[in-house]
Amino acid sequence: MPSTQTLAPLACDSPVKIVATRDAYGSALLELGAKRDDIVVLDADLSGSTKTKAFSQAYPARFFNQGVAEANMMGTAAGMASMGYTVFASSFAMFAAGKPWEQIRQSICVPELNVKICATHAGLTVGEDGKSHQMLEDITLMRVIPQMRVIVPADAVEAAAAVRAVAETDGPFYVRLSRASTPVIFAEDYKFELGKGAILREGTDLCIAACGVCVAPALQAAEELAKSGVEARVINLATIDPIDRDLILDSAERCGAILTVEEHQIRGGLGDAVAQVVVHGKPVPMQMLGMDNAFGQSGTADELLAHYGLDAPAIVARSQELMQRKA
């Protein structure tokens, strides 16, 4: 299992370091910019929020503000990538994945160009901005395109490692990042590997598979379940595509039931990706926690996770229901 900060801080009153994955993205870009002259960054007039501003100040000749023109930004990114650059293109997830989908498909993925779309402000935890900015469909939109790899980091440590990894790997990527600050789960020695999940907690009664900001509450839920004698394996599936089939099938075999948790529509998201593996390889009882055919509303990140049943108590309750089905 990967080295973590230990589960105890997530389950007690001890202070836990919280950092937004978008902050880690900005720091990783600066690091890459210092090491590699081929790194260029594009932004759609949101560099302060996407955290690309520090890169723009350090390397102004390699930063291009495209304005509120996301489709043009993706076309420009494709053109630069065709000239040999490694291109990072950023905006809010709603605008990075939704508005320029055709350009991403036609200009980036069909020719398999070296463009890394790093979308911040994804999911329900955008919070007070409400349903117009809470992108809950981007995993579906991106994973359906051939050649596009999709990553949803669980915390700031994994986000920085993922950004470094995609910079070293040719071809298109979509990296989904959060606005809200969330618990740091991994120690600094954590090794991110594309296409590989991570077992964060062992157990054989059921498996809780999560991604992004839902990994921390999944760990909290597992600790709470243990108090009633239920030992849950918790796995972090940061790479949605290509997904870790071996880990999913092993979890199905060992645990006999799988609960998926994501701040995204369950249609086409993590749950669907896991179910596609399970149904072909090792059918077991499954349940999916996520947004179910609904838009979000305005509120704080924590309020919204609780309201839509994505916090630790809700995961505990759904896990108990799944245990009954398994029995």
Count other Cβ atoms within 10 Å, centred on residue 49.
16
For 325, the token pair is 């089905």
Asked if 175 contacts 166 with a C-beta cutoff of 8 angstroms, the reply is yes
Q: 70 an active-site residue? A: yes
For 282, the token pair is 């090792």
For 301, the token pair is 């990140």
HEC letters along 38-81 = CEEEEECCCHHHHCCHHHHHHCHHHEEECCCCHHHHHHHHHHHH
CA torsion sign for 131, 132, 133, 134 is positive
Which of the following is catalytic: 31, 70, 202, 223? Answer: 70
Distance CA(59)–CA(175), nearest Å, equals 22
**Closest to 192 in 3D by CA, of 213, 162, 170, 148:** 162
Question: Position of tokens 């994973």?
Answer: 143
Query: Facing residues of 286 across strands?
Result: 258
Distance CA(178)–CA(190), nearest Å, equals 20
Contacts of 81 (CB under 8 A, 6+ apart): 87, 108, 113, 114, 115
**Closest to 236 in 3D by CA, of 301, 176, 192:** 192
2 prior amide bond cis, ω within 30: no
Query: Facing residues of 173 across strands?
Result: 116, 149
Beta-strand pair 18-19/182-183: antiparallel
Active site residues: 70
